[in-house]
Amino acid sequence: MSGASVDELVSDYNDRMGNLLTTKVLQDKTRALWLNDVIHRHKIELRRLERKFKANSLEINRQFFLDKRSAHNRLTADTLNFYHHNKTQNADQKQFFQIIDDIIGEKKSQTATLPNHTDPEALAQSFSDIFTQKV
């Protein structure tokens, strides 16, 4: 490639970058359902104050930023709590526990796991004994 012309190098570069861009899969990140325009505008204002504070570290800019950050955190927490409260309010028992699992991030495995065993008939008998005792 050392003897290649500029046009050849540019063409090679464009080909390689074009291949990279066509193979990259962009994932559509869905927006959280509880986020609303008020929070979005609040966050824009918060970032503006943060940039202003970092540009010149005046105490007044720091106080504006810290006050806005506290207000934003309260607003976000209140909105999230309100969203989850409304979502769980009208749910039946099964939906309620699914919502709770989603909130705390636990995903149940799709396959049921059995205890370690060597004899399937003995395992089935032990299950039967447990259920017989319970009933």
Please report whether residue 117 resides in a domain. no
Q: How many CA atoms lie within 13 A of 28 on its CB side?
A: 1
Confidence of residue 108 (pLDDT cuts 50, 70, 90): low
**CA distances from residue 108 to 74, 93, 94, 99, 103 in whole angstroms, order as listed:** 32, 17, 14, 13, 13
Please report whether residue 91 resides in a domain. yes
Please report whether residue 48 resides in a domain. yes
Which is more confidently placed, 123 or 65?
65
* Distance, CA of 95 to CA of 99 (rounded, Å): 6
Please report whether residue 46 resides in a domain. yes
- Rounded to two decimals, the pTM is 0.55
Please report whether residue 87 resides in a domain. yes
Count of the separate structural domains present in the chain: 1
Tens digit of pLDDT for each residue in 49-66? 999 999 998 999 999 999
Please report whether residue 135 resides in a domain. no
Most confident of 23-32, 35-44, 85-94, 126-135: 35-44
Please report whether residue 51 resides in a domain. yes
Return the biggest CA–CA distance within the chain: 86
- Domain, as residue range, for 41: 32-105
- Report DSSP state, residue 113: -
Please report whether residue 78 resides in a domain. yes
Give the per-residue pLDDT at 103: 81
117: pLDDT strictly greater than 90: no
Average pLDDT on 81-93 reads 90
